[in-house]
Amino acid sequence: MQLNSSPVQPGTPVILGSLPDPTIADQTCPRRATIEIDLMLLAIEALDLEGSEVILQTAQFLELDGIIKDRVTLWRLRNTNPLRRHNQRRALSLTEAKALVVVGCYMARRLTVLIRQLLLAYQQLQEQQLSMEHHFRLNEYLERFRAHFRSRMNPRRAAVAENYSDESLNQLALNLLTELLFCTGTYGIQRFWFSLFDGEVA
C-alpha cells in the first residue's frame, strides 16, 4: 500500500498532517472506510452516554471545529455511511475522514481503562461459559450499541440485515472494542488510518 506523505495543505489543521493521503483516484474515502469510521464512533457513543456531545467538544479541543463545526455537520458527515437510514449520497473527503479518525482515536484513548475492563470481562465470561448479562457494564454497552445500530442503520441494506440479530450485533460491538483498543496504542491513529485502506490502493 502506498501513501503520500505530502506537506499539509494550507488551511488544513496541523494535527491531520500525521495521516498520509492514500493514492486513490478521486481522493475521497472508500465505502468500506466510511462505514468503519462511523461504526467506530457508534461504539464510542455506546460507551459514553454523552458521546455525540463529547465528539463536538473533542473536535473543538483539537482545533478541528473548522471541519466538524456543529451537530448538523457531524450528522451529515456520519450519514455518508451508505448503511445509514439517512445516507447523504456523497463521498466523505479524506480531510473529513482524517478529522473523524483523529477525534475517534483521541476519545478511545480517554476510554482506554473502560475498554480494557470490558474486553477482560468478556474473556472471563467466555472462560466461565457465562452470558453477557452476568456483567452489568458489558451488557449495558452491548444493549446501547444494538439500540444505536438499529435506530440509525437501514435494515433494507443487506449488510445491515445480516447483522441484525442480537448475537451478530454483540459480536460486532465486541470486535469494535478490540479496534478501539488498537487505536489507543503507540501510533494507534496511524495504524487505524492505514488499515482503512488495506486492499483499496496499490
Q: Per-block average pLDDT, block size 10, for the chain (202 residues)?
A: 46 82 82 96 93 91 94 95 91 94 95 96 95 94 97 94 93 96 90 85 46
Q: Would you say residue 18 lies in a domain?
A: no
Q: Would you say residue 9 lies in a domain?
A: no
pLDDT of 200 reads 58
| Domain with 71 in it | 27-195
Q: Would you say residue 12 lies in a domain?
A: no
Q: Are 106 and 19 in contact (CB under 8 A)?
A: no
- Quote the pTM value: 0.90
Task: Name the strand (E) or helix (H) holding 143.
Answer: helix 136-152
Q: Would you say residue 61 lies in a domain?
A: yes
Q: Are 181 and 175 in contact (CB under 8 A)?
A: no
Domain count, the chain: 1
pLDDT of 119 reads 97
DSSP assignment letter at 74? H
The helix/strand/coil state of 198 is: coil
pLDDT of 27 reads 76
Concatenating the DSSP letter of every residue in 9-63 gives PTTS-GGGGGSPEE--TTSB--HHHHHHHHHHHHHHHHH-TTHHHHHHHHHHHTT
pLDDT of 11 reads 59
Q: Would you say residue 13 lies in a domain?
A: no
